[in-house]
Amino acid sequence: MRQIWETPGGIHPEQNKHQSTGEQIGTIAMPPEIILPMGQHIGAPATPIVEVGQTVLKGECVAKPEGFFSAAIHASTSGTISAIEERTITHPSGMRALCVIIKPDGKDTWAPLNPCDDYTQLSKDEILERIRNAGIVGMGGAGFPTAIKANPKSNRKITTLILNGTECEPYITADDMLMRERADEILLGAQLFCHLLTDVNEILIGIEDNKPEAIAAMQAAANALNDERIHVVSFPTKYPSGGEKQLIQILTGKEIPSGGLPAQLGIVVQNIGTAVACHRAIVHGEPLISRVTTVVGQTLEKQRNINVLMGTPIGFVLQEHGFVSDYKQRIIVGGPMMGFAADNQNVPIIKTTNCILAPSTKELPLPAPAQPCIRCGMCEQACPASLLPQQLYWFSRSEDVEKLEEHNLFDCIECGACSYVCPSNIPLVQYYRASKGTIKLQREEKAKSDHARLRFEQRQERIVKAEAEKEAKREARKQAALEAKKLMAEKAAQPANGETENTTNAVDKTASKVVDPVTQKAKLTRALTSAQSRLERANAQLQTNIDEDNGSRKDALQSKIKQAELKVNDAQNKLDAFNKEHDISSSEPGTPQAKNSSAPSNDKGKDATSPALKKMAMSDAEKQAAAVASIEKRLGVATQKYKEAQEANTPTADALKLGVEKLEQKLSDAKAVLAQQANDVSANTTQPVSKNEADAALGAIERAQAKAKAKAAMTDDEKKQDQIASLKKRIDKAKTRLNKAKDENDDNIAAFENAYNKLQDKLTQIS
554 and 581 co-located in one domain: yes
Q: What is the pLDDT of residue 619?
A: 65
Mean pLDDT score, 694-720: 67
pLDDT tens digits, one per residue of 216-260: 999 999 999 988 999 999 999 999 999 999 999 999 999 998 888
Q: Cβ of 627: how many Cβ atoms within 10 Å? A: 16
Q: Please report whether residue 455 resides in a domain.
A: yes
CATH number of the domain at 274, please: 3.40.50.11540
Is residue 328 located within the same domain as residue 452?
no
Assign 567 a pLDDT band (cuts: 50, 70, 90): confident
How many helices and strands (H and E) does the chain possess? 22, 16
The predicted model gives 706-721 an average pLDDT of: 74
Q: How many domains does the chain have?
A: 5
Mean pLDDT of 68-80: 93
Residues 50 and 153 in one domain: no
- Does residue 725 fall inside a structural domain? yes
Residue 231 and residue 185 share a domain: yes
Sequence-separated (6 or more) residues with CB below 8 Å from residue 266: 154, 156, 157, 158, 159, 160
Residue range 434-467, pLDDT digits in tens: 999 899 889 989 999 999 999 999 999 999 999 9
Beta bridge partners of 48: 63
* pLDDT value of position 624: 75
Residue 386 placed within a domain: yes
Peptide bond into 240 cis (omega under 30): yes
pLDDT band at 503 (very low <50, low <70, confident <90, very high): very low
Q: Are 614 and 672 found together in one domain?
A: yes
Between 722 and 375, the higher pLDDT residue: 375
Give the model's pLDDT for residue 546: 61
Domain that holds residue 401: 375-493
Lowest mean pLDDT of 74-78, 194-198, 478-482, 582-586, name the range. Answer: 582-586
497 has pLDDT over 60: no
- Compute the average pLDDT of residues 408-418: 92
Q: Is residue 144's pLDDT more than 60?
A: yes
One domain, residues 614 and 701: yes
Q: How far is it, in rounded angstroms, from Cα 158 to Cα 190? A: 14
pLDDT (mean) for 283-295: 95
Q: Is residue 8 part of a domain?
A: no
- pLDDT surpasses 80 at 592: no
Please provide the average confidence, as pLDDT, over all residues in the chain. 83
pLDDT of residue 498: 47
Q: What's residue 516's pLDDT?
A: 61
Res. 590: pLDDT tops 50? no
**pLDDT surpasses 50 at 595:** no
Task: Give Cα separations from 76 to 26, 31, 100, 354, 569 (angstroms).
Answer: 17, 11, 11, 17, 80
Q: For 703-723, what is the mean pLDDT?
A: 74
Element (DSSP H or E) covering residue 617: helix 610-617
- Residues 316, 346 within the same domain: yes
Q: Look at 21-30, 306-315, 410-419, 690-699 and tell me which has the smallest mean pLDDT.
A: 690-699
Residue 3 in domain: no
Q: Please name every residue paired with 333 in a beta bridge, in sequence order, or none if there are none.
A: 340, 356
- Predicted local distance difference test score (pLDDT) of residue 596: 40
DSSP assignments along 127-156, one per residue: HHHHHHHTT-B-TTTT--BHHHHTS---SS
Q: Rounded to an integer, what distance in angstroms lies between the CA atom of residue 352 and that of residue 344?
A: 18
685: confidence class by pLDDT, cuts 50, 70, 90: very low
pLDDT at residue 536 greater than cutoff 90: no
689 or 346: which carries more pLDDT confidence? 346
For residues 355 and 316, membership in a common domain is answered with: yes
Find all residues with CB under 8 Å of 365, minimum gap 6, and list them.
none
Quick one: 660 exposed, middle or buried, by C-beta within 10 A (0-12, 13-18, 19+)? Answer: middle
Specify the higher pLDDT residue, 94 or 222: 222
Residues 599 and 640 in one domain: yes
The answer to the question of residue 445 being in a domain is yes
97 phi, psi to nearest 5 deg: -155, 170
More confident residue, 143 or 688: 143
pLDDT of residue 597: 39
**Is 290 within a domain?**
no
Q: Where is average pLDDT lowest: 63-67, 517-521, 588-592, 754-758?
A: 588-592
Asked whether the predicted pLDDT for residue 381 surpasses 90, the reply is yes
Question: pLDDT at position 26, please?
Answer: 95
Higher pLDDT, 513 or 26: 26
Range 617-621 average pLDDT: 65
Domain boundary among 366, 386, 405: 366
Long-range contacts of 25-29 (CB under 8 A, 24+ apart): 25/177, 25/178, 25/181, 25/292, 25/304, 25/305, 25/306, 25/307, 26/304, 26/305, 26/306, 26/307, 27/306, 27/307, 27/308, 28/306, 28/308, 28/312, 28/316, 28/317, 28/320, 29/320
CA distances from 564 to 365, 533, 569, 571 (A): 97, 9, 9, 11
* Residue 618, pLDDT score: 63
Average pLDDT over residues 627-637: 83
Query: 121 and 99 in one domain?
Result: no
Q: Is the pLDDT of residue 704 over 50?
A: yes
Helix, strand, or coil here: 567? helix
Looking at the structure, tell me whether residues 137 and 277 fall in a common domain: yes
Cβ 241 vs Cβ 247: under 8 Å: yes
Q: What pLDDT score does 279 carry?
A: 95
Residue where one domain finishes, among candidates 675, 694, 709: 709
Q: Identify the band that residue 686 occupies on the pLDDT scale cut at 50, 70 and 90.
A: very low
Residue 599 burial (C-beta neighbours within 10 Å; 0-12, 13-18, 19+): exposed
With respect to residue 498, please indicate whether it lies within any of the assigned structural domains: no
Which has more pLDDT, 747 or 399? 399
Q: Is the pLDDT of residue 164 over 90?
A: yes
Among 269, 279, 44, 40, smallest CA distance to 152 is for: 269
Alpha-carbon torsion, ordered 182, 187, 191, 194, to 10 deg: 120
544 in the same domain as 478: no
The percent of residues in the chain predicted with pLDDT above 70, rounded, is: 85
pLDDT at position 682 over 90: no
DSSP 8-state secondary structure symbol assigned to residue 58: B
pTM, 2 dp = 0.61
- Contact (Cβ atoms closer than 8 angstroms) between residue 23 and residue 304: yes
Whether 240 and 417 have beta carbons less than 8 Å apart is answered as: yes
pLDDT recorded at residue 343: 84
CA distances from 761 to 728, 736, 750, 757, 765 (A): 12, 17, 16, 6, 6
% the chain with pLDDT above 90: 50
Q: Which of 496-500, 687-691, 707-711 has the highest mean pLDDT?
A: 707-711
Element (H, E) at 309: strand 304-309
Tell me what pLDDT residue 522 has. Answer: 76
